[in-house]
Chains A and B, each alone.
Chain A
Amino acid sequence: MHLRQEFWRMAWLISAVLVVALPHFQYVAPWVAVLVIAIAVWRLAAAERGWPMPRTALRVTAVFLGYSGIMWSYHRVSGVEAGSALLLVMLAFKLMETRSRRDRALVAIICFVLMFATFLREQTIWSPAYLLVGITLSVCALMQVGRFQTRMPVMVAGKTTLKLVVQALPLMAMLFVLFPRVPGPFWAMPVDSGTAQTGLGDSVSPGDITELGRSDAIAFRVRFDGTVPEPAERYWRGPVFGYFNGRSWSGRIPGPGPEDTSVLRKDGSSYSYEITMEPHGRRWLLALETPLSWDQKDASYGPDWQLISRKPVGERFAYRARSVVNGTIPGNDSQRYLQAMRHLPANVNPRTRMLARQLRGSSRDDVTYLRSVLNMFREQEFYYTLTPPRLDDSPVDEFLFETREGFCEHYASAFATLARAAGIPSRVVTGYLGAERNPVGDYWVVRQSDAHAWTEVWIDGDWRRYDPTAAVSPARIEGGLDFAIPDAGRSPVTLLRRSALFGQLALNMDAVNAAWDRWVLSFGPDTQMALLARLGISKPSMRDLMIATLISCGLFLAALSWMLTRRQPEHVDAVLRLYRLYCRRLARSFRVPLHSEGPTDYASAAVAARPDLGSDIHSITNLYLQLRYEITGKTDDPRLLAELRRRIRAFRP
């Protein structure tokens, strides 16, 4: 019997451990996952069979080996990855010594920390469901380890735990909204490789890429106020690369941007919109071509008029901006910079230079020359593909004269090189092109697969946008990547996404996801203030928020406490009330009835102890039995009731 309960207690605990450990298994070193599962299974078997726990020496050795293993696999014990692996290993070893109640409670509490580590890695729309399941199991385990002799039925245990969790939910919601949010971080936070996913890189070197990864991950979501830009206007401008070494393009170090905003040309179509940015661990924010204004204090112009954040974007957040799209970027750059934008390394790409000289010689001016280059791309056999061949020493030469297959970066790089070869300053710009509308949530999604590269060329004192990819594959500009390549080259996920039914489902799902991101995951100090302002509390201080938190939680708890301790009305009829009065009076000189004692047994016990009360006790008990049970058919006789009342009132031993 004792083993049985031990088994059940451990079963609760181990299922909680496994559920919180499960999401970690895909990240940690495989041996950690194997170790955790092996120890959990062994512990469960040990609980069932009553096997002894390992000796202290063995456990200490195991802990030492586990620690060394983590050091060997991760070379450190700090950080989310190594930290959660270490936590898992230590939790597994803790299971080997869980004898006392405190050890077990500790295991359940460590489970909470492991769940936290999971959320540091990923926060999806499923996270709340996972949170509830994990918490319920761990809390249930915490409750079960406190059980002493008898096992609590599974259903009762589950119900009791759920009640706790459900009653805690309003408190959680109140704290979530009202608890003062401080902009973090307090200490350096390790940027995981997982959060720095992006389609945009630190440099552009087309020759090195033989297969462009097409990630369907979302880069950001946009909500336009009013007019939506035409497909060919949806240029989200990101990092600009002006320094070319013949093979790859690199950008300038993001410094303070231009201060003289009077050079901004405000003609053209202007759009205002709100972007919810996914974290990417870099500093640039994205905006439609030339941003004019925005609502983020931390954002400013970068050196090339892009929007740049003061800190790396480590969390999802939203900002509003207004942009103008007219194909030009103001050019107030220094002569030195322009000189660098004309530079081409010597001895590289000689055939390209020759071609440039030829074409420039036959053109009237720079603009005509550039147009003839575009015509070359359009009319000759150039192909758009995501799997271009590898390019060697003179990548632009090889691309232009041999392979003629590439994607946006190849064309942008070749075009900028050709412009430079003709003495025109030019640079490569990366960002995103396009947006896909989600009709369910009425917003637009820009994915990592929308990443794009184009060029900007110095014409008449401005940077003009030229997109050579448009010349090769107009569909890429109008319809996005999905339309630019034949079906055979598409990933199955993309094909699935484009099928009607699944497409609708995916759109719905993404709308939910977007709402989730917008209202929950990107909830921070700013959103909190905005929400409170909408509720009529404008600019509360931290003290006000603290007080509001305390008051609202206090009110909830008072209500809960009232609900919990409220006396359940008990149905007591006159007969029972009288009988209870009699019991209370008899208890003064005898005792209350035992729970195993019916009225008759109680009466005989009382008479044995107090023979002097015998006649009263007998007559009262007799009357009570007649009124209570169908002995004489007089259960509702008012005279009997009156008699009982009279006798009990007179009964004062």
Chain B
Amino acid sequence: MTARRWPWQTWSASLATRSREWALKRQGSDKHGTELHARRIYILPTRIGFVYATVVLVLLLGSMNYSNNMGFALTFLLTGIGIVCMHHCQRNLSGLRVNFLDSESDFAGQHVSFRLQLDNPGKQTRWQLRTGWDRLDGQFADLHEARCTTIGLSLKAARRGRLPMPRVAITSDFPLGLFRAWSWIHMDSSAIVWPAPSDQADAPPVTGTDDVSGHSIVDGGDELSGVREYRASDSPRRIDWKALARYGELLVREFRDGSCSECWLDWDALEQGDAEQRLSILTRLALDANANDRTFGLKLPDCTVAPGSGETHLNECLNRLALFGHVDADVAEEPG
């Protein structure tokens, strides 16, 4: 059962889309950083602002009716404060610098995060800056004179690939909450979303003995080389259940292919599943291989990563897997 949509909800949604396109067209892309100048700061009264304006209007009528000069003074002072407040609200954002710092990759289905740096070059403190994907939520920060702060915004990644950073809203209703000023920031940045690792622990061992290099592959050779403590990334299939029953310790059996120290994760060796499933399985295998400190290489139809080990190597393999089939598969150019 879907919630009933009122006509104005549809209108406001379409208005939002239109304004989104308009803002992007008007401002253009901000590359990796920008400074918020006055022309790109939008400002509107809030609901409290409308209440305030109504009360001021009522007070004006009252002052006129009673010809009460202190009433006029009060009314006009409140009017002045409202208007000055609008300027301060706008100034709270104006001149703020926003830079893209980096993004943190994660697997599809997880939250990737983008880090932004807010930099206040001015002398006044900027209070109550709210940074988020939307005007109405986000993280608050006060930014004192000549300070920077880092804001991490996370986003749920639906599928693998390059996830472009959505537009960011920097909002503030300081000082009195009568006005809300905001600015949209369209960064050219993106995060890489790795394929979700397959949870098919019983993925068939894929052999790559027919491989050019002549080395054999993959998860668990057939020779048991020993046991070690369980790590988070270990497949449950390799848990030494007997040892757990006997000693109460969570141990994992380690297999070593006696014939070589290197193995290949090979796309072609996987016979089942469509492309995404294969990428998912390869991701799992790469994670497991890394967890077992093995040297492994990656072979995809369009590229090959020479065998290696360590976090950097794993990241490169994961990036290849993430961008498989994408046009801009050149990972090396990716900042961060």
Contacts and interface: CB of A to CB of B under 8 A. Distances in A.
A523 B69 contact: yes
The 5 closest A-B pairs by CB, nearest first: A168-B80, A171-B80, A595-B148, A119-B70, A175-B76
B336 interface: yes
A139 B84 CA distance: 12
A30 interface: no
A620 B64 CA distance: 70
Nearest to B38: A565
A148 B177 CA distance: 12
10 contacts: A131-B74, A143-B174, A164-B88, A171-B76, A171-B80, A172-B76, A182-B64, A315-B67, A564-B88, A591-B99
A150 B125 CA distance: 14
A587 interface: yes
B33 A592 contact: yes
Interface in B93-107: 94-95, 99-102
Given A172-B79, A560-B87, A587-B33, A567 B74 contact: no
A519 B169 CA distance: 50
B224 interface: no
B221 interface: no
A148 B101 contact: no
Interface stretch (A108-116, A280-288, A399-407, A436-444): A108-116
A102 B177 CA distance: 10
A128 B77 CA distance: 11
Given A146-B173, A557-B83, 6 more contacts: A112-B55, A113-B59, A116-B74, A123-B70, A176-B73, A592-B117
Contacts of B122: 567-568
Given A139-B81, A172-B79, A609-B336, A185 B65 contact: yes
Contact of A521 (B63, B69, B79, B336): B69
B69 A123 contact: yes
B176 A179 contact: no
B95 to A, nearest CB: 7
B80 A169 contact: yes
B37 to A, nearest CB: 9
B61 A186 contact: yes
Interface stretch (B46-54, B208-216, B322-330): B46-54
B176 A142 contact: yes
Given A119-B68, A168-B77, A565 B52 contact: no
B121 interface: yes
Interface in A32-87: none
Contacts of B91: 564-565
Interface in A129-187: 131, 135, 139, 142-143, 145-150, 152, 156, 160-161, 164-165, 167-172, 175-176, 179, 181-187
Contacts of B65: 184-187, 189
B197 interface: no
A120 B68 contact: yes
A464 to B, nearest CB: 40
B210 to A, nearest CB: 35
Contacts of B52: 109
A179 B59 CA distance: 14
A579 interface: no
A469 to B, nearest CB: 37
A109 B176 CA distance: 11
A591 B77 CA distance: 47
Given A160-B175, A176-B76, A179-B76, A171 B70 contact: no
Nearest to A128: B73
A184 B83 contact: no
A148 B139 CA distance: 10
Given A131-B73, A186-B61, A589 B335 contact: yes
Contacts of B72: 175-176, 179
Contacts of B61: 186
Given A168-B81, A176-B76, A591-B336, A184 B55 contact: no
A143 B176 contact: yes
Contacts of A120: 62, 66, 68, 71
Nearest to B140: A148
Contacts of B336: 590-591, 609
A156 B126 CA distance: 12
Nearest to B59: A116
A148 B128 contact: yes
A106 interface: yes
